[in-house]
Structure 1
Amino acid sequence: MNVEIWSDIACPFCYIGKRKFEDGLQQFSQRDDVNVTFKSFQLDPYAEKEQSQTNAEMIAGKYGMSMEKAKEMTQQVEDQAKEVGLDYKLESTVLTNTKDAHRLSHFAKEDGKMEEMMERLLKAYFTEGKHVGDHETLVSLADEVGLDGEAVRAMLDSDGHEEIVREEMQEGADIGVQGVPFFVFNRKYAVSGAQPAHAFLEVLEKVQEEENENKINIVSQGDSCADESC
């Protein structure tokens, strides 16, 4: 089974949703047969790499609310994060453009480390206050998950993987992704948002049941040739 997750490193509900999906997956009996792929999405593809606003200031300006209300919303999100074991420090987040972080995730995919890289990027952004738009920070994070730092630096200094980031954002738009996180199961079912773990488990079980139903039931079998015979 293939699960594609459209998400952004700067999306607080994407990290929360990732944890809830993982909790549901852990309860799924066929979890070892599930292939998870992260797809790129940028909440603000035109964001500046260097910004001076705090998270609360950004929210207040974006939604036209008071700083008090923005901080209240921030606290609510931090409380939701705690429910799944995440220690958000949203007022310490460094706002930036996430394109290069997405490019790094695709570079990591080539070494089979995309999931580890996404986890490290999300943790760095939401709990450690790291600047995930800064190349040296990205090189350091990549090194932590076992990637070659110099190769990562060379990729970041080029336009490597920019095209796939754009393509996946367009691909998401084409299939109806309007917000993230957005989970697509076998290109047949989708779950939008950070749903409870049981919601993900229900979809996993439904997709698995349909896969089993699509298999042909052999009612009678005689002599035949297979890979190791004839």
Structure 2
Amino acid sequence: MNPVTPIHLDVWSDVQCIWCYISSARLRAAIARHLGPVEVTYHSFQVSPDAPTDIDRDAHIQSHNVDPARMQQIMTQLRQLTAQEGLAYNPDLMQPTNSHQALELLHYAGTTNMRAELTQRLFEAHFAEGRHVGHVDELLAIAEEAGLDRDTTAAVLADGRYADAVDTDIRRAHQLGARGVPFYVIDNSYGLSGAQPTQQFLAAFEQASRA
């Protein structure tokens, strides 16, 4: 019996992207239900690359010029969607920031086979716990909680050794036509954009399996 060829899935996301957070749960469900192996490679993308580290949350919301009633409607929808996926979500605690160093941290985590785990941990820290994922001290605490060595992680962030890797990932996503995240490429052939339903992931996996 020939071994089943794994499906390779490339994932671009940002730790501050709510749709990435929602889609991560749907993707995990699809991988669990798919009969064959799925190998996932994670890549970086910044939703707000020009954002400063410290942002006034209320001013940030107001800058989007969204009607308060419409904003409340959006928040209600997002609470419903995250709850459906079993995800904690506390938007009143969220602290918007520049995510570049958090993404650098994820590249380092990838060298220790912990990127998937730390990605989910950073999602939770940002969207559920109100932790500031743009502050180095907070990133070091989260990394240590996940099992990474604090001193080594501090050195990695201090010298910016994965800064170019983050930027390379972003350029590659743009070359592939991505203008936002989540963005997925299956077996270098099938592209998916946005927070797809679990069933859509499964259909794409089946298509790739038959190719």
- Tell me how far apart the structure 1 counterparts of residues 135 and 206 of structure 2 sit (CA, whole Å): 41
Q: Pick from 38, 41, 46: which aligns with 1:42?
A: 46
Whether 1:200 and 2:201 are equivalent positions in the alignment is: yes
Do 1:60 and 1:70's aligned partners in 2 also have CA atoms closer than 8 Å?
no
- Tell me how far apart the structure 1 counterparts of residues 45 and 178 of structure 2 sit (CA, whole Å): 9
What's the CA shift for 1:203?
A: 0.7
Name the residue aligned to 2:9: 3
Matched residue type, 1:36: V
TM-score scaled by length of structure 1 = 0.86
What's the CA shift for 1:120?
A: 0.5
Say which is worse superposed, 64-73 or 185-194, in terms of deviation.
64-73
**Across the two proteins, how many residue pairs are aligned to each other?**
205
Whether 1:87 and 2:96 are equivalent positions in the alignment is: no
Percentage identity across paired residues of the two chains:
29
- Tell me how far apart the structure 2 counterparts of residues 206 and 141 of structure 1 sit (CA, whole Å): 38
- Tell me how far apart the structure 2 counterparts of residues 39 and 170 of structure 1 sit (CA, whole Å): 11
Name the residue aligned to 1:141: 142
TM-score scaled by length of structure 2 = 0.93
Name the residue aligned to 2:124: 123
Name the residue aligned to 1:177: 178
Residues 25-63 of structure 1, C-alpha deviations (whole Å, 9 max, x = no match): 111011xx3211111110111101011224xx534422x
- Tell me how far apart the structure 2 counterparts of residues 112 and 26 of structure 1 sit (CA, whole Å): 19
Do 1:19 and 1:84's aligned partners in 2 also have CA atoms closer than 8 Å?
yes
- Tell me how far apart the structure 2 counterparts of residues 58 and 198 of structure 1 sit (CA, whole Å): 35
- Tell me how far apart the structure 2 counterparts of residues 45 and 194 of structure 1 sit (CA, whole Å): 21
Look at both structures and tell me which one has the larger radius of gyration over its CA atoms. Answer: 1
Give 5+ residue unaligned stretches, structure 2: 1-6
SS in 2 for 1:21: helix
Name the residue aligned to 2:24: 18
**Where in structure 1 do 4 or more consecutive aligned residues deviate above 4 Å?**
none
What's the CA shift for 1:99?
A: 0.3
- Tell me how far apart the structure 1 counterparts of residues 62 and 87 of structure 2 sit (CA, whole Å): 24
